[in-house]
Chains A and B, each alone.
Chain A
Amino acid sequence: MSYIPISEKDKKEMLARIGVDSIEQLFSCIPENIRLKGDLNLPAPLSELELLEYFEEKGRKNSYEKYLSFLGGGAYDHFIPAVVDYLSSRGEFLTPYTPYQPEVSQGTLQVIFEFQTLICQLTGLDIANASLYDGATGAAEAVLMAYRIKNKKRLLVASNLNPEYRQVIYTYTKNLGLEVVELPYEVTGKIDKKGLESSLNFETSVILCQSPNYFGVIEDIKSLADSAHQHDALLAVVISEPVSLGLLEAPGKLGADIVTGEAQSFGLPLSYGGPYLGFMACKKDFVRQLPGRIAGQTVDVEGRRGFVLTLSTREQHIRREKATSNICTNQAYCALRATIYLETLGRQGLKKLAWLNLQKTAYAIEQLTSIPGVSRKFNGPVFNEFVLEFPEAWEKINQRLEEKGILGGLGLGKHYPGLEKCALITVTEKHSKEKIDRYVQALKEVLR
């Protein structure tokens, strides 16, 4: 198949205008010795029909859809209203570039402005950017931002932060001579207060926590903010399940200085891990240190409201190596989907969605822990994820559940030595009572 609308006749006429005999000649600047002598060794071209059949065939090798899944841990299976797919598939949203020409990009720019507003409303902070790649890079950008603001090399990172996010923080910080200290967790599943006290000092730029954290437990943000501020440090809060913000107090209102996270839950399918949607919000004093694109409101020559990309002196295309981040292309299309999703749900919808998640999770906890030998590992308050401890290694139980068509959770042993008998279980509005009961029944049988 070819997507080229230039005919052989066109080619001849165009070459004549250029004044060369062949297309080959246009490449004469490339030395002969590095030119390919023959064709690339690629498969022969497929027709559209064959292409679809090829992907359908590969898709059949995925059997995940056949399972009843309770997996979460940074990627959540939420219901997506039809308007999200329908409206976001418009070519006018899908096929423009970054809005460098605002006069013909008001659609994209207004969407970004609305997205920034929604993120501010949810996080309780003053300003938000247009998006970042994902929650993990958001967490890394947050600690780098805090370091730019406070200029102190010590960074405290919660050990109950999503393990992949921690790995990305290490990758980003290790070349910059920064000291990352992990904060231990306590029996509630929250950050350990004593551990925090012994690590926190005036050389610290930031405390980075996740809430609800990787164990699903809601952190005491106010107290963490107070501790940070008493030591001239910032509190950065990571949120990987932002549906929780439909019920939980906005972190900004509790003292968080930076809130970043993953907004995949807002209208993006699981998609085997991407594309997802990083977001970041902060207090307005820190706006010059915020990474990424920002849309702002202005007026045109006739005084009509319009939107532009602004504060670009923070960015790489102006500041080059002095920029706040190297990010350029971000996740605008994902932010569009999240904007449609959030505006569709609205004030009441998001609240109700969060409540459904909370209630169903509570039901699942009650039912699962009624099975002898199954108990909660941490007793702190949770939203839609929780950790259970089982009488034997989770991997063994998991295998037997899989045989019954159930993916019962994520084992914690891989990232937390000592928690081999534990699993992280996630429940959303898509888990009907019948599905939860099926899991409970299967687990009973497996443990019998």
Chain B
Amino acid sequence: MINVIREPLIFEISSPGKTAVKLPELDVPEKKDLLNGVPVRNDIEGFPEVSETEITRHFTRLSQMNYCVDFGFYPLGSCTMKYNPKVNEKVASMSCFTSSHPLAPEKLVQGNLELMKTLEKLLCEITGMDAVTLQPAAGAHGELTGMMLIRAYHTAHGNPRKYVLIPDSAHGTNPSSAHICGYTVKEIKSSEKGTISVEDLARVMDEEVAALMVTNPNTLGVFESDICQIADIVHAKGGFLYMDGANMNALAGITRPGDMKVDVLHLNLHKTFSTPHGGGGPGSGPVAVKKILEPYLPVPVIEEKDGQYYLNYDRPQSIGRVKSFYGQFLVMLKALAYILALGPKGIREMAEVAVLNSNYIRKSLEGIYHLKYDTPTLHECVFSDKYQKDYGVSNLDIAKRLLDYGLHPPTMSFPLIVHGALMIEPTETESRRDLDLFIEAMKAIDREAKENPELLKSAPHLTYVRRLDEVQAARNPILRWEKKE
């Protein structure tokens, strides 16, 4: 977009009397005084009034200020920003699906129920687990649901237990989800390889620990090779092994969490299974469990009898509901379309190429950017700004400079165990050309760091806005538009 066009807030281009919608006229006799005694409003103060042309231009211009996967490489680590196939959008916009009311009689929505059940079965096969709930709305919601299942099991067996163990490399949602489920978090330190130390785990694991939450491969992209031993240690004390499946893109078709003795796992359909992120959701966070936890799954559960699908609410041990209705239905359709399009070999190739692409980047940038852990990695790799720090340049500066190259930066906010992290996850849907563009840009930025660090520290230079003052935003919060007096 031409940078000089500044798009105002809609409220600032509003003028009285305009509207962009034509609603039908009232076709029944008008009644007066229907809301007698009820406080009513004369006006929605400040609400915008614009025409359809203005609406269309406003949102078209706003859209052009966004970077997106449709535009280019988006290597946010642990976010799996793969291409979102367009046919999936077409499927999810079919009126036979979008028009159904969630409380419609089951016999009128057999297609919906069958598709959801089919997705459950395919996810069971991909993960090696026994049962799936599709209800959770996103990954963190799946984590919370998973922890609730574990707590329900322990409670039913006499003691909910007190602690949940979480490695220091974990995403922030893990401890937060465990906490909201009533548990106290005990952090376990990563070994010098960046993985869980079996000895340390054995030392802290006891009968007050409800579960270990592990991300595998972890946020460094490193596979926890001792996973079965880890599971045995946790199980020996009656605990559960929870796996955060955010990084399932590295494993699908290669190995299955169920075969690693994982008891409960959440998936992110908006990562591994290609559904678009929408600028921050909707996601979908199905939870897969082993038989032992199945009785606790949220209600309702989709079941089939004589070819008819129905919703079973009669589940006395269930944790209850975690959300209205059945989950993010349209997102499920997109994920199902993706799995059906890929098939078994396609799913495997997805993981293979995701790992190939990541290792290609890692090899190409090794020595130029610092790798804190030299352990082999799968679908993502985590560099740091250690070498560039010598020139006063931080990972934030590198990230902002990447924007000038027309590329989205990697993740920087975690893992917390790598200071100045640059966590790169290319995914399998990037061409060699796009990978090379990124690699060349990263090399060029390293050169710039040495020759002209100021260029990086003042980046970005070519974006719609330049570096924004986040400190001021938090210190003097302006969180809504208000009419100037």
Note all chain A residues with C-beta closer than 8 A to B38: 218, 248-249, 381
Q: Which of A86-94, A149-157, A202-210, A228-236 contacts B (4 or more CB under 8 A)?
A: A86-94
Most chain A CB neighbours (cut-off 10 Å) among B172, B278, B326: B278
Report A424 CB to chain B, min CB distance, Å. 10
> Does B189 lie at the interface of the complex (its beta carbon under 8 Å from any beta carbon of A)?
no
Note all chain A residues with C-beta closer than 8 A to B400: 103
Q: Which of A41-49, A179-187, A192-200, A369-377 contacts B (4 or more CB under 8 A)?
A: A41-49
Q: Are A95 and B18 in contact (CB under 8 A)?
A: no
Q: A44-B343, A332-B279, A348-B49 are in contact. Are A75 and B103 (CB under 8 A)?
A: yes
Q: Are A346 and B19 in contact (CB under 8 A)?
A: yes
> Does B9 lie at the interface of the complex (its beta carbon under 8 Å from any beta carbon of A)?
yes
Q: What is the interface size of chain B, counting residues whose CB is below 8 A from a CB of the partner? A: 203
Note all chain B residues with C-beta closer than 8 A to A60: 96, 111
Binary contact track B92-124/A, C-beta < 8 Å → 1, others 0: 011111111111110111111011000000100
Note all chain A residues with C-beta closer than 8 A to B253: 36, 39-40
Q: Are A106 and B465 in contact (CB under 8 A)?
A: yes
Q: Are A34 and B324 in contact (CB under 8 A)?
A: no
Report B195 CB to chain A, min CB distance, Å. 10
Binary contact track B165-207/A, C-beta < 8 Å → 1, others 0: 0000001110111111110010000000000000000000000
> Does A73 lie at the interface of the complex (its beta carbon under 8 Å from any beta carbon of B)?
yes
Q: Are B472 and A299 in contact (CB under 8 A)?
A: yes
Binary contact track B360-374/A, C-beta < 8 Å → 1, others 0: 100110000000000
Q: Are B41 and A100 in contact (CB under 8 A)?
A: no
Q: A59-B111, A298-B472 are in contact. Are A110 and B7 (CB under 8 A)?
A: yes
> Does B356 lie at the interface of the complex (its beta carbon under 8 Å from any beta carbon of A)?
yes
Note all chain B residues with C-beta closer than 8 A to A410: 103
Q: Are A87 and B280 in contact (CB under 8 A)?
A: no
**Among A45, A91, A171, A360, which residue has its beta carbon within 8 angstroms of that of B341?**
A45
Q: Are B259 and A328 in contact (CB under 8 A)?
A: no
Q: Are A101 and B329 in contact (CB under 8 A)?
A: no
Once bound together, how far apart are the Cα atoms of A43 and B151, in whole Å? Answer: 35
Considering the complex of A and B, which 6 residue pairs feature the smallest CB-CB distances, nearest first? Answer: A273-B325, A333-B278, A45-B343, A59-B96, A273-B102, A332-B280
Q: Are B48 and A108 in contact (CB under 8 A)?
A: no
Q: A5-B429, A83-B52, A271-B330 are in contact. Are A93 and B66 (CB under 8 A)?
A: yes
Q: Are B277 and A95 in contact (CB under 8 A)?
A: yes
Q: Are A3 and B429 in contact (CB under 8 A)?
A: yes
Q: Are A91 and B68 in contact (CB under 8 A)?
A: yes
Q: Are B322 and A168 in contact (CB under 8 A)?
A: yes
A329-384 interface (Cβ within 8 A of B): 329-334, 336, 340, 342-353, 355-356, 358-360, 362-363, 366, 381
> Does B228 lie at the interface of the complex (its beta carbon under 8 Å from any beta carbon of A)?
yes
**Among A77, A92, A218, A366, which residue has its beta carbon within 8 angstroms of that of B66?**
A92
Q: Are B140 and A336 in contact (CB under 8 A)?
A: no
Once bound together, how far apart are the Cα atoms of A92 and B346, in whole Å? Answer: 27
Note all chain A residues with C-beta closer than 8 A to B39: 221-222, 248-249, 253-254
Residue of B nearest to A13 (CB): B432
> Does A396 lie at the interface of the complex (its beta carbon under 8 Å from any beta carbon of B)?
no
> Does B283 lie at the interface of the complex (its beta carbon under 8 Å from any beta carbon of A)?
yes
Q: A64-B104, A350-B44 are in contact. Are A117 and B91 (CB under 8 A)?
A: no
Once bound together, how far apart are the Cα atoms of A92 and B464, in whole Å? Answer: 15
Q: A218-B38, A293-B280, A311-B477 are in contact. Are A40 and B228 (CB under 8 A)?
A: no
12 A-B residue pairings within 8 Å (CB atoms):
A4-B349, A4-B429, A29-B223, A31-B225, A51-B341, A91-B69, A95-B70, A246-B44, A310-B473, A329-B138, A346-B20, A351-B44
> Does B485 lie at the interface of the complex (its beta carbon under 8 Å from any beta carbon of A)?
no
Report B242 CB to chain A, min CB distance, Å. 14
Note all chain B residues with C-beta closer than 8 A to A134: 137, 323-324
Once bound together, how far apart are the Cα atoms of A246 and B293, in whole Å? Answer: 46
Residue of A nearest to B341 (CB): A1
> Does A201 lie at the interface of the complex (its beta carbon under 8 Å from any beta carbon of B)?
no
> Does B399 lie at the interface of the complex (its beta carbon under 8 Å from any beta carbon of A)?
yes
Q: Are A42 and B339 in contact (CB under 8 A)?
A: yes
**Sample of 20 more A-B contacts, CB < 8 Å, known A105-B65, A316-B140:** A14-B432, A26-B352, A42-B126, A45-B341, A51-B341, A94-B278, A96-B279, A106-B66, A107-B62, A108-B66, A113-B480, A164-B324, A248-B39, A271-B330, A287-B477, A301-B466, A329-B281, A342-B47, A344-B20, A433-B27
Q: Are A330 and B280 in contact (CB under 8 A)?
A: yes
Q: A75-B325, A271-B98 are in contact. Are A360 and B28 (CB under 8 A)?
A: yes
> Does A441 lie at the interface of the complex (its beta carbon under 8 Å from any beta carbon of B)?
no
Once bound together, how far apart are the Cα atoms of A362 and B48, in whole Å? Answer: 29
